[in-house]
Chains A and B, each alone.
Chain A
Amino acid sequence: MTVVTLTINDELVSAQEGETLLAVLRERGVDIPTLCHLDGLSERGGCRLCMVELAGSQKLQAACVTQVQEGMVVHTHSDRLVKYRKMILELLFSERNHVCAVCVMNGNCELQWEAAKLGMDHVRYEYLHPELSLDASHDRFALDHNRCILCSRCVRVCDEIEGAHVWDVMGRGTNSRVIIDLNQPWGSSQSCTACGKCVQVCPTGALFTKGSTVAEMEKQHNFLRWILDGREKKVWSYEKNGK
């Protein structure tokens, strides 16, 4: 494999050709926020939190869907980027009803934590307060649109790992919704295997196990690495991947 050399925050770095910029940043310990990215799933480039500046281009690029290139000059934490990242989070918080205090994921939520890390201590935009539904028709799991940020991890894990492709996204803009099968109650889905992978990868309280109340829901992503190592490398080792 060819090695390429690039500059990240004024430091020369080598990387393998074909690697994404995000992978290289993470390997080097650059703390870059993400929400739609999850190790083991395909990239979506949807949340835009991992945007970086590339010299010679006015346009910001999402590191998760940008491949490293020879001579690339990257900045990851300019004032402009930090400002935009905060803005993105504020827009996410204002778009739906993220009431952390009464959420099942309070204390374990990736959205809540990214906001705290970036210092987003209030939202400058007007909250939309949309009237959104909660689908509790499934025996074991529930879907609360109030907390959904449309990261599409559920869509990807169900399609790519479980192979059932129960989930999709319907509509456009603020009217977008994750849907089950042909937009029907979860409990009526015949394609859902009730494996719960979507629940585990969901970064917020949008998908949760029934019976969990405020701050009780915790999610585990370990299974993804374990399944993929088995599938791709025929390695089945709990110890290597266990937390």
Chain B
Amino acid sequence: MNKIKFATAWLGGCSGCHMSFLDLDEKLLELANKIELVYSPIADVKEFPEGVDVTLVEGAVANLDNLHLAQQIRARSRRVVSFGDCAVTGNVPSLRNTLGVDDLLTAVYQEGPGRHPVGGGEILPRLLPKVLPLHQVIQVDAFLPGCPPDTERIWAAVSALLADEPLLLEPARRTFG
């Protein structure tokens, strides 16, 4: 049996969704029999590969790196899932959207305590004017809300995705927050 090419990605988020994913515990063994993990922050892969079946994307689109990776994920994945509230709604990272980027950087770095770092140059990715939910940047096939989504939700979602079924969660498993 061909294994399903499975990927997870981490954009502008706290990694809590990935932590919750790892909380699947012994179910991870079951999952390992069905999938080949081809890209993930918990796997040492540098480049997002071609021909991925399912990609779970944690985090909002906050900077240019996030944007480029999101576009690459879309181009190279058959099904893309917004994984957790930051990807679905913008959530906590989007709290900065009431401020302009310059005001934000000034408030945090220049007016904050200590010495501020010198310039950004090309080392740090540029922040987007607004933090965006993933579906405002690329087409998304399914949404898995929660901050983080708990293991029952993740397992229900992953089971549906691996079976190539639509992702239909019961109401108590699709709340934000």
Chain A residues within CB distance 8 Å of chain B: 93, 97, 99-103, 106-107, 109, 112-113, 115-117, 119, 121-124, 126-127, 129-131, 215
Indicate whether B135 reaches chain A with its CB closer than 8 angstroms.
Answer: yes
A-B pairs with beta carbons under 8 Å apart, 24 shown: A93-B89, A99-B89, A99-B91, A100-B85, A100-B147, A100-B176, A100-B177, A103-B177, A106-B177, A107-B175, A107-B177, A109-B177, A113-B171, A113-B175, A116-B171, A116-B176, A119-B171, A121-B143, A122-B82, A122-B88, A122-B135, A123-B133, A127-B90, A127-B133
The docked-state distance in angstroms from the alpha carbon of A102 to that of B93 is 11
Say yes or no: B147 contacts A129, CB within 8 Å: no
Q: Are A100 and B175 in contact (CB under 8 A)?
A: yes
- Chain B residues whose C-beta falls within 8 Å of the C-beta of A116 in the assembled complex: 171-172, 174-176
Measured in the bound complex, the distance between the Cα atoms of B175 and A109 in whole Å is: 10
Q: Decide if B110 is an interface residue (CB 8 Å cutoff).
A: no
Smallest CB–CB gap between A230 and chain B, Å?
36
A-facing mask of B164-177, CB < 8 A → 1, else 0? 00000101101111
B20 interfacial by beta-carbon distance below 8 Å: no
**A residues within 8 A CB of B91?**
99, 101
Question: Contact partner of A121 among B88, B92, B95, B136, CB < 8 A?
Answer: B88
A-chain residues with CB within 8 Å of residue B90 when the two chains form the complex: 127
**Residues on the A chain within 8 Å of B92, using CB:** 99, 101-102
CA–CA, A113 and B173, complex, Å: 11
Q: Do A129 and B175 touch across chains, with their CB atoms under 8 A apart?
A: no
A122 touches B172 (CB 8 A): no
Chain A residue contacts of B177, Cβ below 8 A: 100-101, 103, 106-107, 109, 112, 215
A127 and B85 contact, CB distance less than 8 A: no
Bound-complex Cα distance A119 to B85 (A): 15
What is the predominant secondary structure among interface residues of chain A facing chain B? loop
For A113, what are the chain B residues with a Cβ–Cβ distance below 8 Å? 171, 175
Say whether A101 contacts B147, CB under 8 Å: yes
- Residues of chain A contacted by B176 (CB below 8 angstroms): 100-101, 112, 115-116
User: Which among B95, B133, B174 is the interface contact of A97 at CB below 8 angstroms?
Assistant: B95
Q: Which residues of B contact A103 (CB under 8 A)?
A: 177
A131 touches B98 (CB 8 A): yes
Q: Is B171's CB under 8 angstroms from A122's CB? A: no
Nearest 3 pairs between A and B by C-beta? A100-B177, A101-B147, A129-B97
Of B82, B88, B92, B145, most buried by chain A (CB within 10 Å of CB) is B145
Q: In this assembly, does B130 line the interface, its C-beta being within 8 Å of a C-beta of chain A?
A: yes
Q: Which of A99, A101, A122, A129 contacts B143 (CB 8 A)?
A: A122
On chain A, the residues within 8 Å of B89 by CB distance are 93, 99, 122-123, 127
B151 contacts the other chain (CB 8 A): no
Q: Which residues on A sit within 8 Å (CB–CB) of B97? A: 127, 129
Residues of B within 8 A of A115 (CB): 175-176
How close is B133's CB to chain A, nearest CB, in angstroms? 7
Residue of B whose beta carbon sits closest to that of A129: B97
- Chain A contacts for B130, CB-based, 8 A: 129
With a CB–CB cut-off of 8 A, which chain A residues contact B147?
100-101
Q: Is B94 an interface residue (CB 8 A)?
A: yes
